[in-house]
Amino acid sequence: MSERGQVSVMACAVVVLLVVAGFLIGVLGGIDSAGANAQRAADMAALAAGHRLSSDPAAADADLRSAAADAARDNGGRLVSLIQLTEDGLPSGVEVSVAVDGEHPVRARARVGVEFTAAEPTASFRPVDLHGLAGRAAVVAAAAAQVGWPYVWGGESRAEGGFDCSGLVDYAFTAAGAALPGRPTAADLWRMGRPVPAAALQPGDLVFVGAAGGAPHHVGIYVGDDTVLSAPHTGARVGYSPLAYGGWDSYASLLPAGPAPLDDPVSAAARRSGVPGHVLAAELRMGLASDPDAAAAALARAQAGHPGSLQEALATQLGSASAAALVLRDGGGAGVGLSGAVRLVPLPHGDADADHDASLPAAPAQTPTGRPASAPMAAGSSWSDDIGTALDAGGHTAEQLGERGRAVPLQAAAALQHLSRFGLTALGGLLPDPDWRDAVNVVGSIWDTYSAIRDVTAAAAAGGLELSGVGLWAARFSVLGGALSTGLFAAQAYSARRSRDRVGYGLMAVGSAATTAGLMTAGGSLMAMGATTSVVPPVGLTLIAVGAGICVTGYLVRHPEWCRGAARIGAAALDVAWRAQSAPVRAVATVADRARSLAGSIPTPW
């Protein structure tokens, strides 16, 4: 009979453990799923903001937030924060934090890096953003942007490979908003112009060779400071030369007379180093350089290494292809196409706000770069796949528990605590030996006492302990279980034969009642099925602590042998501690005694 009963009890225990395991799987799976949802929402939000940034590096924070918020919302999340990342003052990426509310509120972060690429138009020369310049200054700036292009006779387009002298003038006037009729040659320009004496030359005026004979064959643009900008001859490049050494014999102006534009230090530095003025100005505007001459010299050195590509020269000078693209865009304006490769990048360890530099790592061919991607399982999975998935899920869940958000660890820890406590209760009810059951139950009561004292301490300032999710349901079951226990303990106290059992069960009944009453101080929200949160006030937590303590006392009254055993263990521990502590003293005393005795044994000669 008793064997049959034990089989049933053990079977029930296994079933309960399986149910607990199933519950645990469900809870952890839910937490993992919530974490994955949050991470996906964060990834998509970051990528959306990154794409917005890649199309407009000057996009306002509000625009990026709007794009990120939309993407987060579409994926079930809520944008919490967005930080625009910069590298050397230039936009380099975005980091977002996204929250997913629900049963397992989770917060996740994601970071994208944006690598900009500039694309100059294929059919025309360097576009130039004149940044408000007009008239003579605009003509000079537009021409100065073309420094470095090769001379090609009859050339007037990129497709032809370069400029000739009149092509450069035509381009500069057109870019400055003063387009010339047709495609004038040097002779046409001379005829269109108003002759001016050399002493009255102003930046933007034209200088000619051969005009004295009536048909000039070469033309340049006077840029001030006795310097001419021109596309000189085959084999040479657009560049500066002194007015005195070019053989210029005639001068004319296509622009109305007016005050000469000021020769700014940036243009002067570009002229001295022979570099395109518009990108030098952009570098200084964007804060990438502060000394025009030093920046111009650095760019000149870089251009010597990359004579055919201003973008590559800029990348070499600035140490970043992305920065070079942004400089070209700023200097060239909307005519320079700008695009950006947007990639998830790993979050820095520690405080994300501490490091806003987001460099773009080389992207592997097949997997996203945002984080170590877990390999998806192949169809027709094997046990190794299952183990891998389990490990992956475990790792992911651990990541959720450990890193993401503040709510998840609390929820998960609470869930595990409640499950463990529930496991103790189940074990205490199912173990075959009553003494074992009591031993497990007293551990549970000590746990309750400790938890309640800890909660009282922590919740005193907050006005109570807020219960939600798993915690709320655990409290509801605890109320039912506490009420049941109170009745059972009272009945056992009534029917007990030994006085210590009567006292012990009585104390346990009182303790259970106090614990239940403590939980009930949370009010109706505790048991209302529709309620999602409930608050146990400090007085309730105190009652729970006191009640659990009384329960422990009840168990100890019923099991004086535990007290005796504990006293024996305590005494033994104290004895060991005392011996350990006093060992050095005793050793010193022994050595001293021996020294004394040795000294006494030495015979005196007198």
Partner 1 sequence: MRRQSGQASVEMIGCAVLLAIATVAVLEALTVVRARITAERVADQAAVLMAEGRPLPASLRGAARIERRGDRLVVTVPLPVRLPALPAAAVVTATVPR
Which residues here bind partner 1, judged by CB under 8 A?
A: 1, 4, 7-8, 11-12, 14-15, 18-19, 21-22, 25-26, 28-29, 32-33, 36-37, 39-40, 43-45, 47-48, 51, 67, 70-71, 74-75, 341-344, 363, 366-368, 370, 373-379, 386, 389-390, 392-393, 396
CB of 14 to partner 1, least distance (A): 6
* Identity of the residue, 390 or 571, whose beta carbon is nearer to partner 1 in the bound complex: 390
* Identity of the residue, 117 or 241, whose beta carbon is nearer to partner 1 in the bound complex: 117
The residue to which tokens 């263990």 are assigned: 569
CB of 64 to partner 1, least distance (A): 12
The CA–CA distances, whole Å, from 236 to 172, 230, 514 equal 19, 10, 98
* Identity of the residue, 27 or 169, whose beta carbon is nearer to partner 1 in the bound complex: 27
CB of 55 to partner 1, least distance (A): 11
CB of 436 to partner 1, least distance (A): 21
SS3 of residue 240 by DSSP: strand
CB of 334 to partner 1, least distance (A): 22
* Identity of the residue, 37 or 542, whose beta carbon is nearer to partner 1 in the bound complex: 37
CB 250 within 8 A of CB 212: yes
Cα-to-chain-centroid distance, residue 14: 45
Phi, psi for 284 (deg, rounded to 5): -70, -40
What is the crossing angle of helices 538-558 and 499-520, to 10°?
170
Q: Per DSSP, what are the bridge partners of residue 112?
A: 94, 344
* Identity of the residue, 229 or 344, whose beta carbon is nearer to partner 1 in the bound complex: 344
Helices (H), 460-559: 469-495, 499-520, 538-558
CB of 10 to partner 1, least distance (A): 9
* Identity of the residue, 8 or 533, whose beta carbon is nearer to partner 1 in the bound complex: 8
* Identity of the residue, 52 or 476, whose beta carbon is nearer to partner 1 in the bound complex: 52
Each residue of 160-198: b (16+ CB within 10 Å) or e?
eebbbbbbbbbbbbebbebebeeebbbbbbbeebeebee
* Identity of the residue, 30 or 150, whose beta carbon is nearer to partner 1 in the bound complex: 30
What is the DSSP-derived secondary structure letter of residue 358?
A: -
CB of 17 to partner 1, least distance (A): 9
Each residue of 250-271: b (16+ CB within 10 Å) or e?
bbbbbbeeeeebebeebbbbbb
CB of 215 to partner 1, least distance (A): 56
CB 189 within 8 A of CB 251: no
Q: Which of 143, 142, 144, 162 is nearest to 152 (CA)?
A: 162
Sign (positive or negative) of CA dihedral 139, 140, 143, 146: negative
* Identity of the residue, 373 or 462, whose beta carbon is nearer to partner 1 in the bound complex: 373
CB of 576 to partner 1, least distance (A): 46
Helices (H), 56-156: 61-74, 135-144
* Identity of the residue, 316 or 397, whose beta carbon is nearer to partner 1 in the bound complex: 397
Q: Which of 287, 481, 360 is nearest to 92 (CA)?
A: 360
SS3 of residue 277 by DSSP: helix
* Identity of the residue, 390 or 592, whose beta carbon is nearer to partner 1 in the bound complex: 390
CB 70 within 8 A of CB 82: no
* Identity of the residue, 33 or 81, whose beta carbon is nearer to partner 1 in the bound complex: 33
CB of 4 to partner 1, least distance (A): 5
The residue to which tokens 């050397």 are assigned: 88
Q: Which two tokens stand for residue 490?
A: 């009272």
* Geometric angle at alpha carbon 485, from 455 and 505, rounded to 5°: 100
CB 30 within 8 A of CB 104: yes
- Residue 36 CA to residue 100 CA, distance in Å, equals 10
CB of 472 to partner 1, least distance (A): 22
Cα-to-chain-centroid distance, residue 244: 60
* Identity of the residue, 312 or 392, whose beta carbon is nearer to partner 1 in the bound complex: 392
Which amino acid does the sequence have at 432? Answer: P
The residue to which tokens 């006392």 are assigned: 553
CB of 399 to partner 1, least distance (A): 13
The residue to which tokens 């299952």 are assigned: 386
CB 88 within 8 A of CB 288: yes
CB of 368 to partner 1, least distance (A): 4
Which amino acid does the sequence have at 233? Answer: H
Helix (H) or strand (E) holding 575: helix 560-601
